[in-house]
Amino acid sequence: MIRAEPDPAPRTAAALIRRGEAEAGGWRFRLEEEGWHDLAEALRHDPLPFVTLWADGRDVHALFLEGGERPLVASVEPYGGRYLGLSPERPAAAPFERCVQDLWGFSAMEARDVRPWLDHGLWTATWPLSARPGPAAWPPDPPDFRPVPGECMILGSGPADGGHHTPAHLRLAVDGGGVVGQAEWRLGYAHRGVVARLVGLDADAAVRLAGRAAAGASVAHQSALCRAIEVAAGQAADAATVRTRVLLAEIERAATHLHDLSRVARAAGGAALAAECERLREAILDQCGRIGGHRLLMDRVCPGGAGDPAMDDAAVSIGGRVADLLEAGRAALMRGRGWPGLEARMAGVGVLEQSAARALGVGGVVGRASAREEDLRRLVPGYRREWLDSGVRRGGDVAARIDLRLTELGGVARLLRAAAGSMPDAGWKPQAVGEGVGFAEGPRGAVWYWVRMVDGCVAAAHACDPALAQACALEHVLAGAQAEDVGMIVHSFGLSAAGADL
Amino acid sequence: MALLRAILARGVRPAIRLPTVGPMAVFHVDTGGCEGCAMEVSALDGAAYALPATGLRFVTTPRLADVLLVTGPLTRAMAPVLEAAWHAMPDPRALVAVGACAIDGGPFGENYAVLGGLEGRAPLDASIPGCPPSPASIVAGLAALLGASGLSSSA
């Protein structure tokens, strides 16, 4: 592209975004089509971390995390329903581009993959969220799977396979030796239209709904949306509320880690470890059920400055009891883990390399087990850096993911004690700009929300759960694995299709 | 969805009595919820409740099942799957909805992607309310199917 005055120095991607027109509080910028093309070009060389991509009916937005700590959003208005896709430079953007295509009808040019992702052709309309939805075609097109390497047998499982998880279909191409040649997900069975349902709700109702986006990360979803709403309204949570959110998030982390551990251990044949995890999880959820009767901590986080003092006291006392339970159960967990056969079953299986984890945007436990130092808790208000010492693993295999979860359980117990005894600073009050980005580190990875509030109600929103990136990473990891290890590898990611489909 | 109603309902089924001898075989289908109810059902399948030997057994195919246990709101993509599972089951069979979503849609009522709950679409032999219900209340609801007293037959 020829410009009148070429820049003497190559611009960074972040600087290119900032050159756009500021629309919200100095973190969201509108780019013209040309600027968006420059951004895509710059991303080829610039390591600016991509987080998520969404549409709001008029624009397409891409969220980046500048310097690993400042959210930065680039917006572009699709011209004729088309915009330049970012997935050639950022493979992690591919599933988001496909979601935007299915929901809004904006197509990404030069995208890596343009097949439908959520829409199976069974909805009442195509592009249901766009201003002019199209009619649904009947009968629906058969699923468009990737071509399978020759001489492979197709093994499909799901969406109803008797496992206790959200529906998803996994299609494996297995060769004669039982090695998976190619793995592909078909998701969308659990798409409930969370984003469409958020629109029009007031702040409290929106947070209640977000608590039901993915049950394993209910507190994370609630807190992330609360922060987004508070940023939009120029509010800040008071110190006690901030501390309660930290405590609840850590309790949820323990419960979900135990759930995921028991699933992996069962699949790996480690019944003793699984049994210990299930008993410990049940004891923790029983404690949680005593605050308001919600074992999975739904409806426990409220938006706005001041929380409920009774809730704050309850969170401190339950946090203490959960820490006691975790410390008492530690020896039994380690005994279950220590069985040599289990190590032989898991070591070196299902390896996700660091480079793949980075390219596909996988964070959370899975990313940290592949040597990525990804933990948003260092940015979340209420946490102190010295509390977060769980570290990373280099292996990237099933054993590393199990060990990291076990280590983090110990970290949760320490953190619950430290947080209960501290009083964090009240949050910094941002300027009200009507829009906000909020995030939280859920048990399985980073949860992001973007909202635009008008008259106290949600006018547009976006939710991003780590499951989408995990599904893509699993396709990569499963290729080359033994067919009999597939269940164990999938469980070791803690994938929840509920979070991927939303 | 008319198709689903026609096939699942097909007249009024009499209240069923499952055999009280041998474990009750349950096929669990999550029809697209937040996974909360599914996690609570999975707790029943684990060591904390240890039910398999004494009366509740989760099976991985509907062909061996006495009970079709549904969690989550019925999404349009899952309706044909649920239907196929129901038809694969031998008689006598029971349909149980667990959680607010499976009963009436709960927070996920009808929209472009979701049909809603099963209530009014199919005759439920038991519905276990809650968002999500605790494992203890799911056990209690399933125990009612074993039929010493009258069944909670809604719809």
Does residue B67 sit in helix, strand or coil?
strand
* pLDDT tier, B155 (very low <50, low <70, confident <90, very high otherwise): very low
DSSP for A384-430 reads -GGG------S--SHHHHHHHHHHHHHHHHHHHHHHHT--PPPPP-P
Q: Which CATH number is B42's domain given?
A: 3.40.50.12280
Q: Predicted ipTM? A: 0.87
Percent of chain B whose pLDDT exceeds 70:
78
Chain A residue with CA closest to B107: the answer is A209
pLDDT in tens, chain A (502 residues): 445 455 555 578 888 888 888 888 788 999 999 999 999 989 988 889 999 999 998 899 999 998 888 899 999 999 888 999 999 999 999 999 999 999 999 999 888 888 888 988 889 888 999 888 888 887 888 888 888 877 888 888 878 888 888 899 999 999 888 888 889 999 999 999 999 999 999 989 999 999 999 999 999 999 999 999 988 988 888 888 888 899 999 999 999 999 999 999 988 888 888 999 999 999 999 888 887 778 888 888 888 766 678 888 888 889 999 999 999 999 989 988 888 888 888 888 888 998 999 899 898 899 988 888 888 888 888 888 888 876 778 888 999 999 999 999 999 999 999 888 887 776 677 788 889 999 999 999 999 999 999 988 999 999 999 999 999 999 999 988 888 899 999 999 988 888 888 8
Backbone angles phi, psi at A408, to 5 degrees: -65, -25
Q: Is residue B52 part of a domain?
A: yes
In chain B, the number of structural domains is 1
- Shortest distance between the Cα of A120 and any Cα of chain B, in A, equals 7
**What pLDDT, on the 0 to 100 scale, is given for residue B15?**
54
Contacts of B64 in chain A (CB under 8 A): none
Report pLDDT for A341. 83
Judged by CB atoms closer than 8 Å, whether chains meet at B59 and A162 is answered as yes
Q: Is residue B16 part of a domain?
A: no
In this chain, the answer to whether the domains covering A13-133 and A194-501 adopt an identical fold is: no
CATH number corresponding to A13-133: 3.30.460.80
Residue B28 pLDDT > 90:
yes
Q: Do B112 and A159 touch (CB under 8 A)?
A: no
Of A167, A274, A289, the CB nearest to B134: A289
Suggest the residue from B112, B114, B134 to mutate for an interface test with chain A (most A CBs closer than 10 A): B112
- d(CA A166, CA A209) in angstroms, rounded, equals 17
Residue B151 near residue B145, CB atoms below 8 Å:
yes
Domain membership of residue B82 (yes or no) is: yes
| Partner residue opposite B75 with nearest CB, options A190, A196, A496 | A190
A192 at interface of B, judged by CB pairs closer than 8 A: yes
Is there a domain that residue B121 lies in?
Answer: yes
Would the CB atoms of B111 and A197 count as touching at under 8 Å?
yes
Reported as type and span, the H/E element at residue A155 is: strand A153-157
Q: Enumerate the residues of chain B whose CB falls inside 8 A of the CB of residue A501.
A: 32
* B125 pLDDT tier (thresholds 50, 70, 90): confident
CB contact A498 to B (< 8 Å): yes
pLDDT at B1: 45
Rounded CA separation A270/A448 (Å): 34
Instruction: Give the minimum alpha-carbon distance from A6 to chain B in angstroms, rounded to a whole number.
Output: 49
Angle (CA) B128-B131-B133 rounded to 5° is 45
Buried b (16+ CB within 10 A) or exposed e, B32-59: bbbbbbbbbbbbbbbbbbebeeeebbbb
CATH numeric code, A194-501: 1.10.645.10
State the best of A102, A130, A141, A166 to mutate against chain B, taking most chain B CBs within 10 Å. A166
Taking a C-beta distance cutoff of 8 angstroms, is the pair B143, B151 a contact? Answer: no
Measure in Å the smallest separation between the Cα of B54 and chain A Cα atoms. 17
Distance from CA of B22 to the nearest CA of A (A): 20
DSSP string across A245-296: HHHHHHHHHHHHHHHHHHHHHHHHT-HHHHHHHHHHHHHHHHHHHTTTT-TT
B48 to A281: CB separation less than 8 angstroms, yes or no: yes
Answer whether residue B11 is part of any domain.
Answer: no
Instruction: State the residue range of the domain holding B73.
Output: 26-145
pLDDT of B12 over the 50 cut: no
Give the nearest partner residue to B34 out of A196, A213, A279, using CB atoms.
A213
Please report the number of interchain residue pairs, chain A to chain B, with beta-carbon separation below 8 angstroms: 151
Please list every residue in chain B whose beta carbon sits closer than 8 Å to the beta carbon of residue A128.
Answer: 112-113
**For range B7-13, the mean pLDDT:** 46
Domain spans of chain A, in order of start:
13-133, 194-501
Distance from CA of B138 to the nearest CA of A (A): 14
Kindly determine whether residue B32 and residue A190, on different chains, have CB atoms separated by under 8 Å.
yes
Q: Which residues in chain A (208-237) have CB-CB distances under 8 A to chain B?
A: 208-209, 212-216, 218
